[in-house]
Amino acid sequence: MTLSLPGSLVSTEWLAAHLDDPDLVILDGSFKLPGVTPIAAEDFAVRHIPGARFFDIDAIADHETPLPHMLPSAATFERHAAELGISNESMVVVYDTPGLMSAGRVWWTLRTFGHDKVAILNGGLKKWLAEGRTVTNEITAPASTHFRATFYPSAVRSKAQVLVNLESHREQVIDARSTGRFTGEEKEVRPGLRSGHIPGSLSLPFTALTDPRSGELLPVEEIHKAFEAAGLDFSKPVIASCGSGVTAAALAFGLHLAGKDDVAIYDGAWTEWGQPGSTPVETGAGKEPGGK
């Protein structure tokens, strides 16, 4: 194997220069909220980066739970990874359509199952198209490979663990949803959920990490400042949350770029926490930056 990734974030120029490398696997990890059409898989069928395979976040999941796209078992992930042509030696580049909505979820999933040879395409398909680069509707089935997963439970938090954290305050919770959803001023996109946020959590919409024009990640210094402005203490561990565990991974990726990897994702996220029941919910602006 001669190919190596230049880092956790790769440019469109780098990807274009390595499209035909046999050691490279390109994954389209695009995702859309429920009810939005055409769905991401249909978009992929119309156009995608040449050689890309579609990583279906809803399909590569635990189907024994009513919660959406929860992490699958290691055995299930091994099967899906092999079907996508991913081996333990593969260099993987993930992208999504807007730039950083769901690519982070695929990046985090691969790392949670022990594959750290993975990077995100800076600017995603949005930047690729803006530069006039080639796309295709041709779908080629990859040759099946073998993938051995090593699950890292430290990357994931359950509802029970988040409830314990409400008392211990050992980890900071930061929420990737829009400000309106965090404060409770906007209704949740999934019916039946309460509005608001996990008590004591911080708010940083995942869109704050990218340039809205190009979809590219902001410079690392600006990402660091965005988290600090949201009240995050870089010396303490973090739980990232969101609506259903997808955009929380965008925050995890941003923190990774800023040099912070003691970050876990609450996989059930608001889809689990916000259900009618006894989990405590706060509304309003939440914890003040720098506050206790």
Q: Please give the share of the chain, as a percent, with pLDDT higher than 70.
A: 98
pLDDT of residue 287: 64
How far CA 264 is from CA of 84, 98, 235, in Å, comes to 26, 24, 15
In Å, how far from its chain's centre is CA 254?
Answer: 10
Determine contact, residues 280/199, Cβ cutoff 8 Å: yes
The answer to which of 11-25, 84-98, 108-122, 276-290 has the lowest mean pLDDT is: 276-290
Helix (H, G, I), strand (E, B) or coil at 8: coil
pTM for the whole structure: 0.96
Q: Confidence class of residue 73 from pLDDT cuts 50, 70 and 90?
A: very high
pLDDT at 53 over 60: yes
pLDDT recorded at residue 251: 98
Q: What is the mean pLDDT of the chain?
A: 95
52, 125, 242, 257: the catalytic one is 242
Does residue 55 carry a catalytic annotation?
no
